[in-house]
Chain A
Amino acid sequence: MTTLGPTLLPWLVALPLAGAALVPIVARRDARWAGGFTFAVALATTALASVLVAQLASQGPFSADLGGWAAPYGIELHFDRFAAWTMALAALFSFVIPFSWRYLDATLPRERWAPFYALMLLNLGGLLGFSVTGDLFNLFVTMEVVSLSSYALVAVAGRGVAAWAALKYLLLGAVSSLLVLFAVGLLFALTGSLNLADVSVRLAAAEPSGAALLALASLAVAFLVKAALFPLHVWLPDAHAIAPSPVSAVLSGLVVKVGIVGLLRVLQLAAGTGISLEPLNTVLMVLGATAIVMGAFLAIFQDDIKLMLAYSTISNIGYIVLGIGLASPFALIGAFVHVFNHALIKVTLFLAAGAIIHQTGYRTLSDLRGVARRMPQTAAAMAIGAVSIVGLPPTAGFVCKWYIALGAFEADQGGYGFALVFGALFIFVYYVRMLDAFFFRSPVRPEVADAVEAPWSMRAPVLVLAAACLVLGVLGGIPIGFVEPAVVDLLAALGR
């Protein structure tokens, strides 16, 4: 039993990647089979991830050496609590895939289904690989797998605007990737190693140098671009709004978290090297608080519901980055829990919005007035998601907001606590507009007045996710209890 974790760990990454390769073969006879196959692969991956998490819970973190080459030289996969927590992100794929079955019917020609599902699985594989990789080079490779599949998924919708959005996304993404590659090269030159743990140890042994600082700073900036932290966010809104809704859900909920997980890896790397993190933390706090307010401010002017949701991602990344910058136990716990809770909420919102767009053909607030009358369940899910993302109790968003704000007061940065609480108020302004239009206005479009509820394959994922938003709000102790040891370890490593 003891070796089960290390044995299974490589398969966690291999399974979705192999699935991606097999999708075109499965889809050769009938493109519709690709959807079912992808769902099966996503479920199997989730099941595998749960086994690994159970292993972690019973016997602590474990590593696997690929091909039997031992750690500093071979490729190491490492499964710690941070990685385990990101497994929950991957589980969200199992909701997105069934949702996209019927969604693709209306939005994509059949011949593009196989590439779509293959890219989804590639994205999943990259995400999982990124969370469990133990060395710097694979951190770069898996990040590129995630990024490239994301660019392609944005472009898959195929219209002119989508290509532009994808290009903008690609250009900024490429800058960030180059920065990571540059930093990886620099770190290798400095330490002669690529293994994360090993690099950290060797950096600590060496004199703190400008080059090491430069490498870590490049990594941090690159990951902040990936996370779309204001003002590095310019690629995000268009890409997320133009993509098909299941893709928006994945991009907004999960892919931006690559940047956050990367940032945490940078912190782990820097721990113990004697490099002061104070300047970085100050930058993170200021940018995080700015992002909260600016994301909300920009969202207020949007009429397109998907653009509104995209801008709210910017605010929420602001929460997480602010929490990391505050670097107090409560704030880090809140930030880390929000990595998943935001993903859950955002996937709920994008899928619900997708269902509404799919059923009515409209995507702006002014057209979608009164949609709740005909699609009460989907609209209720949307309302739960909206209330969660604003952070009203008792929902998943409140727990995180509570902890991050508490962390601000704990770190004697009360000003940021107030900024967060009132930034959230600002965010609510535009969600009130949305709920007001959906629930309390009369329909102006015949398609909305005569809309019917979404088919069950779309509605069920949305409803289950919305219920999860409530459950995680009421039982907030569970996720917090899970990430608390990881945060304690990180803080101990950082010497706090």
Chain B
Amino acid sequence: MTATAALLLVALLAPLAAALATLGWPEPTPPGRLVPSGLRWRRAAMLAAGAVTAVCTLALAALVQRGETHTLSLLQLTPHTWLTLRVDAAGALYAATAAVLWLLALVYAVGYLHGPRLGRVHAALMVCLAAAIGVAYAGNLLTFFVFYELLSVLTYVLVVHDETPAALAAGLKYIVYVLFGGSLVLAGVLLTFALAGDLSFTVGGVFAADASANALRVAFACFALGFGVKAALMPLHGWVADAHPAAPAPCSALLSGVLVAAGGFGLVRVCFEVFGVATLHSLGVMPWLGAAAAVTIVVAALLALQQDDLKRRLAYSTVSQMGYLTLALALLGPIATAGALVHLVHHAFLKGTLFFCAGSFAHATGRRGMGSLAGLAARTPVTAAAFTLATLGMIGVPPLSGFVSKWWLGVGMLESSAPATLALLLIGALLAAGYLLPVVFTLYFAKGVTRPPGVAPKPGVATRSFEVEHRPPLLVAITVAAALTLVLGMAASAAGFPLALARQAAATFFGGG
């Protein structure tokens, strides 16, 4: 067994082992003990597994950059299809993003998630990590679908963790949307197999040249709509704005950074390795996808402007930002594709930072409306600074990571001679400033409406915010994520960074080796 195969297996199995270790649920909490003893071990196991997976995926990314690829057939799902894992540039990029963001979210969760039902959410987090890794490294469509559905369904546990009526309602909406999307993807996979007889991801596509164009269009529509639900492509985005606020903060970060991105990643795989650039050009379906993405970018950003709940605002921002990814894909140009992939990575960490911060703010104030944020920066300086940094990144201010991805997206749009889309990019950035900068302004400059002059501060509120800034896990996760947005921006073109991998992946997709 080569080192690559070993790393692959460890990355996939470590979280599953940790999930098994966390199955001590329901834990009877002895009265008078703040942290049940088993919980400490369980958290250690989770963090260890998260770290192992992150290291493995990063190592695999490094190996891919040296030109190594590897295919590993694990199990025979049916006589015609194997469960196959494969390492390539795009997969390594998504896997490393998912694993690192997951590790940060796990660290954050240690400080954030308390109370009953921890065993359940811990186990779900670990299995979802394994499923995300499986999605990243899937070597054929069926393997991809298996892990994709596993990820979709188990995410339900993360969404409804709080078990409030709102969370349960959001969970129902989520599961109905996502299963509908999953069924569409399954129909697409079935059609692909019926048409091509083969499901392996192959650059340039799997279909024969004489395949019926209309059948191919139906298959593509299935995939586009199915993944569109997950990637929050309008008008299939309905679940996003409810599920994100309902989920606990670390889970919201993962929802945005990994799960919504899984839809985008699925589109990447399907476009370049099931259909292939030439086929897509001849089918003429991409303009439709691009139009949907364009609408998504603008409308979602406009909706974000109107949200009072910070997490809802961020959720709509995710919808809008994922629109960039789809739009860039629809252009079918190598640079735009590299931009899309690098945007997937950079957005994950930016949005992760923002959701981590939003969780801390909500924790500090006990509320989630914009009004509750007024003047909060004085009491939570580190968190507010991180939020500001990520906001600037989202808008695309150099030298932050958001700038790099937008630069490549913009260059790609020009290269594909679609200057009109460049305007969309700029409008999107402008609107991002419109929906995020007021939050920053409120944090720093608004007068605290919760504390009218002459009234003594509510004791609870003050101590809560004090507590938040003194919870090391939250601060560690927030600062590391914020630092990543800076580092990913400043050293973007360094070897071994996402941009290099994204360009390598795009070069592969477009046949440049």
Contact = CB atoms under 8 A, between A and B. Distances in A.
24 contacts: A373-B26, A387-B153, A392-B149, A393-B145, A393-B146, A393-B149, A393-B150, A394-B150, A402-B190, A406-B190, A406-B194, A409-B193, A410-B194, A425-B179, A425-B183, A432-B172, A432-B176, A436-B160, A436-B168, A440-B168, A440-B171, A476-B78, A477-B79, A481-B79
Interface of B: 25-26, 75-79, 83, 120, 142, 145-146, 149-150, 153, 160, 163, 168, 171-172, 175-176, 179-180, 182-183, 186-187, 190-191, 193-194
Interface of A: 373-374, 376, 387, 392-394, 399, 402-403, 405-406, 409-410, 414, 417-418, 421-422, 424-425, 428-429, 432, 436, 439-442, 474-477, 480-481, 484
Contacts of B83: 394, 474
A399 B77 contact: yes
A436 B168 CA distance: 8
**A interface, over-half SS:** helix
Grouping DSSP codes into helix (H, G, I), strand (E, B) and loop, the B interface class, with mixed when no group exceeds half, is helix
Which of B78, B120, B171, B172 has most A Cβ within 10 Å? Answer: B78
B407 to A, nearest CB: 39
B79 A480 contact: yes
Given A376-B25, A409-B194, A429-B176, A424 B79 contact: no
Contacts of B190: 402, 405-406, 409, 417, 421
B137 to A, nearest CB: 16
Nearest to B116: A373
Contacts of B160: 436, 440
A44 to B, nearest CB: 32
Interface-central residue, A387, A393, A441, by most chain B CB under 10 Å: A393
Nearest to B145: A393
B187 A436 contact: no
A394 B82 CA distance: 12
A450 to B, nearest CB: 13
B196 to A, nearest CB: 11
Nearest to B186: A421
Contacts of A376: 25-26
A271 B78 CA distance: 28
Contacts of B78: 399, 402-403, 476-477, 480
Nearest to A374: B26
The 3 A-B residue pairs with the shortest CB-CB distance, nearest first, are A409-B194, A477-B76, A393-B146
B79 A428 contact: no
B413 to A, nearest CB: 36
A418 B187 CA distance: 7
A424 B150 CA distance: 16
A387 B146 CA distance: 13
A474 B179 CA distance: 21
A476 B77 contact: yes
A41 B259 CA distance: 51
Contacts of A475: 75-76
A439 B146 CA distance: 23
A286 to B, nearest CB: 20
Contacts of A474: 75, 77, 83
Contacts of B163: 440-442
Contacts of B175: 432
Given A393-B145, A421-B186, 17 more contacts: A373-B26, A376-B25, A387-B153, A393-B142, A394-B83, A406-B190, A406-B194, A409-B191, A414-B191, A418-B187, A422-B183, A424-B183, A432-B175, A436-B171, A436-B172, A441-B168, A476-B78
A370 B77 CA distance: 34
Nearest to B161: A440
A403 B183 CA distance: 15
Contacts of B150: 392-394
A121 B193 CA distance: 44
A428 B178 CA distance: 12
Nearest to A399: B78
Contacts of B191: 409, 414
Nearest to B215: A414
Given A376-B25, A436-B172, A394 B183 contact: no
Contacts of B79: 477, 480-481, 484
Contacts of A373: 26
A484 to B, nearest CB: 7
A484 B79 CA distance: 10
A424 B186 CA distance: 11
A392 B77 contact: no
Nearest to A392: B149
Taking each of A387, A392, A424, A442, which has the highest tally of chain B beta carbons within 10 Å of its own beta carbon?
Answer: A392
Contacts of B182: 392
A171 to B, nearest CB: 38
Contacts of A432: 172, 175-176
A392 B180 contact: no
B9 to A, nearest CB: 15
A373 B171 CA distance: 19
A417 B183 contact: no
A240 B457 CA distance: 64
A476 B76 CA distance: 7
A406 B193 contact: yes
A165 B252 CA distance: 50
Contacts of A424: 183
Nearest to A432: B175
A444 to B, nearest CB: 14
Contacts of B77: 394, 399, 474, 476-477
Contacts of A417: 187, 190
B282 to A, nearest CB: 22
A403 B349 CA distance: 40
Contact of B146 (A394, A425, A442, A480): A394
Most buried by B among A405, A418, A440: A440
B197 to A, nearest CB: 10
Contacts of B120: 439
A420 to B, nearest CB: 9
Contact of B187 (A421, A429, A442): A421
Contacts of A425: 179-180, 183
A417 B190 CA distance: 9
Contacts of B26: 373-374, 376
B83 to A, nearest CB: 7
Nearest to A393: B146
B359 to A, nearest CB: 21
A417 B180 CA distance: 15
Contacts of B180: 425
B74 to A, nearest CB: 9
Nearest to B189: A402
A418 B183 CA distance: 9
Contacts of A409: 190-191, 193-194
